[in-house]
Every structure is written in C-alpha cells, then in structure tokens.
A and B are shown apart, each in its own frame.
Chain A
Amino acid sequence: MMLDRTQRDLTPAWKMGRDPVTGNGGDRQQDKARRFRDAALPCLDDVYTLARYLLRDSGDAEDAVQECYLRALRHFDTFRGPEIKPWLFAILRNVCRSEFARRSGALHYDASLDGLADNDEDTAPLWQEPQASPETEIVQQRDAATIRRLIADLPQPFREASVLREINDLSYREIADVVGVPLGTVMSRLARARSLLRQAWVAEEGTPR
C-alpha cells in the first residue's frame, strides 16, 4: 500500500531544520497544518464523493472523511507529491477498511473478496460481454440519481475502480497505487465495471438485450 510505504520513510536531513517559512521551530506544527489545509481542503468534495460511493451512507461517509483528514494531517510529513488527491484516497480507503468494514454490512473490504476477484480475473474469458446491438449501442440518457444508484449497486472492487476513473478522473497508474493492485488488474476491473454498468443501465430502460 502507498500509505504503508510512505510511513516507513525516514525523515530526510533537510526536514530536520527550522520551519521553512517562519524560521521558528515553535511554529512548525502550525505551519504544517496551514500547508496541509491549503493542499488538502480543495479535495474535500472529491474525497467525500469517493466515501459516499464506497460506503453508500452519508453519515458513515462524513465520519470516514473526517478521520481521513485527521490521519492525513498526522502523516503529512510523509507525503511525497506530486498529487495529493490519490494520497488522500489511499488513506480514505484504509480508513474504510479498518474502521467501517464491520459497521457497514454492505462493504466487502475483506481480503478474501479482493483475492477472489483477482483470481476470477486471471481466468479468461472474464465474463460474457453483452452483445451490442443497434438498440443498445446508444443508451438512453438517465437522470443523475438513477446513475448514482446503478454505480452504487456495482460490487465493491468494480465500484471503486469505476468511481476513481469516471468520477474522480484518476489515471490507471494512480488507481493502481490507491487500490494497491497491478495495472492489469485495474484494466480488467474497469472493463468489468463498465460491462456491468452497461447491463444494469440497459436493464433499467426495460429494453432487454
């Protein structure tokens, strides 16, 4: 995991000096908090969005995001850019694993499911693609609430990949780092996620393929 790796890093020599801005060791904590706030607060909506899709509950999502920001501030020293968003996502994901897996029965974050999903992906063919016909090539426009529900109904690994890619616009590499799986797994999960979403979308329209 990204988080585990960065936490093991030793503090480099140039961080042992005085506070870079104020020139005063006593202000270091305050300066760190200020830098963290400037970098991390603009991502709040994105982090909250991911939490909403992962946990499927607004109250749980709020708690998880708050815990995520507290942890991120504590470990801000270990943050090695360039992008802070994937780093926050990785922390949020850990928060979800460690503290909310028990509480939310809907969340299957246990290793067995991750492992199972990966094994599935090793064996081809992965799934049966719905045959595309002229009627299903163009899906009907749906309202956002419906699509949110369709995404929320995807099984966890596919939902996660889908939200990180489509909604939060992460690259495959960033998704692989956040989730802690190889690039190939990201690709097959995304393909599967879109296949499932499309099937659900078409089914929603009441036009069986």
Chain B
Amino acid sequence: MNCSEAEILLHALLDGELDAGNAREVEVHVENCARCAPQLRAYRGLRQAMPIAQLHFAAPASLRRRIEQAFPAPRPRATTRRSMLRGFVMGAAVSTAMAASLVVAVFRTDQEQRVLGDVVSAHVRSLQAEHLTDVRTSDQHTVKPWFNGKVDIAPPVVDLTAKGFMLLGGRLDYIDGQNVPSIVYRRRTHVINLFVMQGAAAEACEPRLQTVLGFNIQCWTANGLELFAISDINAQELREFAEKFEAALRPANET
C-alpha cells in the first residue's frame, strides 16, 4: 500500500467501513509511515471536534404542518374484530407459548383465518427450541428431495444466500389438515418460514401482506402452489424476500 491509497483508505478506516483484512493493512501502513500517521491523528481530531448533534437543522413547525396536511385525515375507525386484534398485537410482549395457544382460540371463524392461524402457530412452534429444521442444510438439492414421499407436492426450493436470505433447511409441518413442507430461511437474526400448500384451503387466501400477532405474512401463488412466507422481519424485507424468491424460480421453470 502506498501513501496515496492510504490517504483515502484511512477515512474508510475511521468510518469503520473496512473489513478486518483491509483495516489491518491500512493500520500497518499508517503505523510505519511518517506522513500518514499524523494525517490519521489529524482526522481523528477533526471528527472529535465536530459537534455533530448541533450541525442538524430542525424542520420548521410550519413545514411539518404543511406536510402533515397534505395527507388525508385519518378516518375514525369502527371497532371490529380485526382492529381489536390489532390492538392486541400492539401489546407485543406476548410470550411465544401464549401466542401459540391464543392463535388456536382466536382464529376459527373462516377458512382463511384458520390457515393463517395454523401458519402462525407452525411458525411459533418452529422457533421453539430444536424444531426449526428437520433437514438442516444450505444445499437446495438436498432439501428438495428430502420432501419426496413426505408430502404430495414438490416444493420449490431455491438458495437465496447471495440475495441476503440464507437457506437453513426444510421441515415438515401440519397445516389445515395436511402435511405441508416448510422451507426455512434466515435474514440476519430473523427466521423466515416459507410454507408451500395446494388445494382449496390455500386458495382461500388472497395475495397480500398481513400482520397477525405481530408476524408479517406474505402469501402469493406460484406454479399453482400457494406460498406463505412468515417472519418477524419488517414488511418491506418480507416483500423483498417474496420478490427474490419469485425471481429465482423463474429461470428454473423456463429450462
């Protein structure tokens, strides 16, 4: 590494943007360089002298009002079973075991609710100790054949590790009276269960994103199968997951 490279990289070092190997390389150069060592100290000093908090501007109240007024006023909501549920969700700190039993009690009214309830229960159960995966591998070609003979369908299994969703493995679950394959992914510390179903039970669900007991559930149809992705990651990332899963499926089908 020469000085002109180090001159730029020392900023990345200060900003914590270098991986361990590169950081070490820059540090070694700076330690042994009479020219770069004072530079690093100088920029460290500059950073410390910056009163960052005071460099922010607060948006004027008039601007905030103008922007808020541009949105349609919220409509007062009638209390429905759903809004009651949502209020319940806000309570948030429901233990997973409690959630699982409540799901069974609450979601019984129609088929869609029953499927969703089962999906949530299965997801919660999978997070309880030692039952996330029945076949644990990041190899999609191991996960897919594992389901042979265990379920009536061939679930689509794609490896999305490169897209930020790591394939953890597969699991067999029981939803709405049928054996259902679940493909398990991980995003950072969040687990995503993808349930693959077929038949009338699955068709009851419309393609959309829903929130049940604080879990986001995205359901959609692909290749005549109904897919349910459920996780505690935020709605945008779950949509992203569904999108990437779809995209990964497409070329496989064309060949």
Known: A34-B74, A129-B7. A45 touches B234 (CB 8 A): no
Known: A132-B41, A165-B15. A30 touches B57 (CB 8 A): no
CB distance from B18 to the nearest CB of A (A): 10
Pick the residue among B47, B60, B71 that contacts A62 (CB under 8 A).
B60
User: What CA separation (Å) do A79 and B240 show in the bound complex?
Assistant: 10
**Is A137 an interface residue when CB atoms closer than 8 A count as contact?**
yes
Known: A73-B70, A132-B39. A144 touches B55 (CB 8 A): yes
Binding-face segment, A89-97, A101-109, A188-196? A188-196
Cβ B207 vs Cβ A191 within 8 A: no
Total residues of chain A contacting the partner, CB 8 A:
69
User: What CA separation (Å) do A40 and B77 show in the bound complex?
Assistant: 22
**Is B223 an interface residue when CB atoms closer than 8 A count as contact?**
no
**Is A207 an interface residue when CB atoms closer than 8 A count as contact?**
no
Cβ A41 vs Cβ B74 within 8 A: no
CB distance from B86 to the nearest CB of A (A): 8
User: What CA separation (Å) do A139 and B38 show in the bound complex?
Assistant: 13
Chain B residues within 8 Å of A117, by CB: none
CB distance from B216 to the nearest CB of A (A): 9
Grouping DSSP codes into helix (H, G, I), strand (E, B) and loop, the A interface class, with mixed when no group exceeds half, is: helix
Cβ B45 vs Cβ A14 within 8 A: no
User: Which 9 A-B pairs have CB atoms at the shortest separation, nearest pair first?
Assistant: A81-B236, A132-B38, A144-B54, A17-B208, A48-B59, A14-B207, A132-B42, A14-B220, A17-B206
* Residue contacts A-B, CB under 8 angstroms, 14 given: A12-B246, A15-B208, A18-B208, A21-B211, A30-B75, A33-B71, A33-B72, A65-B67, A66-B66, A81-B235, A82-B236, A126-B4, A138-B45, A141-B51
Given A13-B220, A190-B15, output 7 extra A-B contacts at Cβ < 8 Å: A52-B57, A81-B239, A129-B7, A144-B51, A167-B52, A167-B56, A197-B46
B positions within 8 Å CB-CB of A = 4, 7-9, 11-12, 15, 17, 38-39, 41-43, 45-47, 49-52, 54-60, 62-64, 66-68, 70-72, 74-75, 82, 86, 206-211, 218-221, 234-237, 239-240, 242-243, 246
